[in-house]
Amino acid sequence: MKRRSLLAAWTEPYGGVPPFDKVRADMFPSAFKDAMEEACREIARIADDPAPPTFENTFVPLEDTRRAYRRAQSLWTVYTSTLNTEEVKAIDREWAPKFAAFDDEIYQNIKLFERIEVVYNSPNKVKLTPEQQRLAWFHHTQFVRQGARLSAEQKRQLSEYNTELAECYTKFKQNVLADEENYYLVLESQDDLKGLPQSVINVAAAAAAQKGLKGKWVIQNTTASMKPFLTYCDRRDLREKGWRMWTTRGDKDDAYDNNVICSEILLLRAKRAKLLGYPTHARWRLENTMAKTPEKAMELMRQVWPAAVARVREEVDDMQKIADGEGVNIKIEPWDYRYYMEKVRKAKYDLDEHEIRPYLQMDKIREGICWVSNQMFGFNWSEVRNVPVSHQDIQVWKVTRSDDSLAGLWYFDPFEREDKISGAWMFTYRAQEKFKGSVTPIVSNTCNFVKGRSGEPVLVSWDNAKTMFHEFGHAIHVLNSDVNYPTLSDIEAMPRDFVEFPAELNAIWMSTPEVLSQFALHYQTGESMPDELVAKIQKACTFNQGFETVEYLASAIIDMALHLEGEKELDMRTFEKERLAALGMPKEIVMFPRIPHFDHVFASDGYAAGYYSYLWSEVLAHDAYKAWIEEGGPYKKQTAKRYRDTILSRGNTLDAAEAYRNFRGRDPSIVPYLEYKGFPTTTAT
């Protein structure tokens, strides 16, 4: 029963759904063991085939292997990210290194790789379809990059590195989660609440009640809770206290400190890269990206950095003038930035976040997101309640095309809770494929909004609304996929600096008048956002771009710098301090995320030496958006169709740069990005 629940093919409705109603955490260990054994038998059948290697007897069955294992892993990812109880954490610590060893066992299978190489190098390869040739290239490249050509001793060493890294990743992310759960800011009196909007106070009261602190208020140590607190709290001493708690997650010299773990991860990555024949992890990581080299990625970041820093100087000057005018006798510090930023917004643009938030209801923003996808791609959305979910907060939508055919399912998990990792992300439960019949994708978006009182709408900030659009852009990418082979459909197999492109592009539609007029509705009156407020938002569109860009770029540059150091034992605090000083980091800002809680970089290999990808993709996004403007407006269906046909539907069936040129007719320009930010374009190349 346990194995059947976790490993069996998913059954109806909608082409099969994850069986969350039949799964318990304690089922996973035995299921993992069975799935690995089954996968090894599948791989052995391919590797030991006595027939000469061909695409049909090597790559075709390879696409069909490990399906049960992937189904179990899909369910497990949901548990470790959103249901991360002590039981789950213990299983994760035990099995993460086993997963790494299992992957190595496959990539280091000599017989299998020899068959792959024969087909890949065969002159008959030209007879394959372009997609089949791309699949052969992808698998061959992956095997080589994962050590298939190493000696037996080198492979053993590589497996040791990967196992140790898996253990470090698990410990890192569990430490960050522990910091978020164990530390929080308690507000004791009405005086502590000064400046906070009622919505924030209500959420803080609910959080306090959950912790048994009746009559008090709690600000959680998460981004979703801390950002609004830092923006509105009049008590500077409490802002500093909350800011220090939040920005030192994983950096408190306690049992959950991540500094040593980060150093170990970097050293292991450097050793692994050297073993694989690369001077640094960054070189290995960027080889198959759009940027190709660390230098190219750094060039883009350094091209933007001076303009962003100059804008920060202007922003701080504006803040300091307001503080001086209040007679408070302070110099702007990092815990003051968001607070005085709001005052500057009010003074310069007559725009207050308090004015905007009542119009941004989470459910209405979600409706707007779905509406945009309908206008662009013909998707229709209907909520369904006949599928099991992993938590009662999760809602599920059936997505259909204009001809009523099923495009896929979308799961939405919006609220923060204990045992759930903070942040926002997309996850694919099942990728699209046409390999052996049509398989529709199942995709989820996860956020960490703070749930208010029962029956009250959840109001989100402008930035959070854009985040919803961003993450949904990933979902739209998956739902538009039209690829034969599952490996090439999976966006995790695409270059990281291309994957973020559809998400960054989708976020732009958040601020279009069509969305704001229909879905930015006042939570009490139901009235649309007034035209004058929309005009003020658009007028202030470049406001605070210095802060946002410097905060992000600092983290991206430090990420790349760390992974260019090679086999050096680094002290994280010293490295961060010295490198930021050398960059000319404004003292009023810290890099965010900081190293000890940088999940993108240290909870997995995912964005290690790849955090620059957001900038790279944002440049693509703003250049691509220009195509709509040039061709008739943001809802031009002809442009959307070309975008779907050349980008979204193609998966990893062709080179990302070629795919972009097929859409835009040329390589991307940085100018639209700089214009959007309000930065000078005179030095753009």
Domains parsed from the chain with CATH numbers? 2-149 (1.10.1370.40), 183-247 (no CATH), 358-536 (1.10.1370.40)
DSSP string, 343-396: HHHHHHHS--HHHHGGG-BHHHHHHHHHHHHHHHH--EEEEE-SS--SSTT-EE
Active-site choice (471, 551, 576, 618): 471
| Listed range (510-524, 611-625, 670-684) with the worst mean pLDDT | 670-684
Query: How many Å apart are CA 53 and CA 71, to the nearest integer?
Result: 28
pTM score: 0.95
Contacts of 436 (CB under 8 A, 6+ apart): 64
Q: Give the end-to-end CA distance of the chain in Å, rounded to a whole number.
A: 61
Query: How many Å apart are CA 471 and CA 79, to the nearest integer?
Result: 20
pLDDT, one tens digit per residue, over 27-43 is 999 999 999 999 999 99
Query: How many Å apart are CA 469 and CA 344, to the nearest integer?
Result: 26
Helix (H, G, I), strand (E, B) or coil at 666: coil
Contacts of 601 (CB under 8 A, 6+ apart): 559, 562, 595, 607, 608, 611
Residue 62 has pLDDT above 60, yes or no: yes
Copy the structure tokens of residue 363: 């459910």
Q: What is the largest CA-CA distance in the chain?
A: 85
Query: How many Å apart are CA 478 and CA 456, to the nearest integer?
Result: 32
Average pLDDT over residues 541-566: 97
Average pLDDT over residues 210-222: 96
Q: What is the pLDDT, as a whole number, of residue 255?
A: 96
Query: How many Å apart are CA 317 and CA 323, to the nearest integer?
Result: 10
Examine the residue annotation and report whether 418 is marked as an active-site residue of this protein: no
Query: How many Å apart are CA 499 and CA 373, to the nearest integer?
Result: 18
Query: How many Å apart are CA 188 and CA 74, to the nearest integer?
Result: 43
Residue 473 has pLDDT above 90, yes or no: yes
Q: What is the pLDDT, as a whole number, of residue 2?
A: 52
Adjacent-strand bridge partners of 449: 415
Determine phi and psi for 190, rounding to 5 degrees: -60, -35
Residue 1 has pLDDT above 50, yes or no: no
Buried/exposed 258-283: b ≥16 CB within 10 Å, e otherwise: bbebbbbbbbbbbbbbeebebebbbb
Give yes or no for a contact between 44 and 106, defined as CB atoms under 8 angstroms apart: no
DSSP string, 175-210: HHHHHHHH-EEEE-SGGGGTT--HHHHHHHHHHHHH
Of 545, 463, 467, 472, the residue nearest 502 (C-alpha): 472
pLDDT, one tens digit per residue, over 416-444 is 999 999 899 999 999 999 999 999 999 99
Average pLDDT over residues 266-274: 98
Residue 3 has pLDDT above 80, yes or no: no
pLDDT, one tens digit per residue, over 623-681 is 999 999 999 999 999 999 999 999 999 999 999 999 999 999 999 999 999 999 999 98
Determine phi and psi for 34, rounding to 5 degrees: -65, -40
Number of H helices, E strands in the chain: 29, 7
pLDDT, one tens digit per residue, over 336-368 is 999 999 999 999 999 988 899 999 999 999 999
Q: Supply the mean pLDDT for the chain.
A: 96
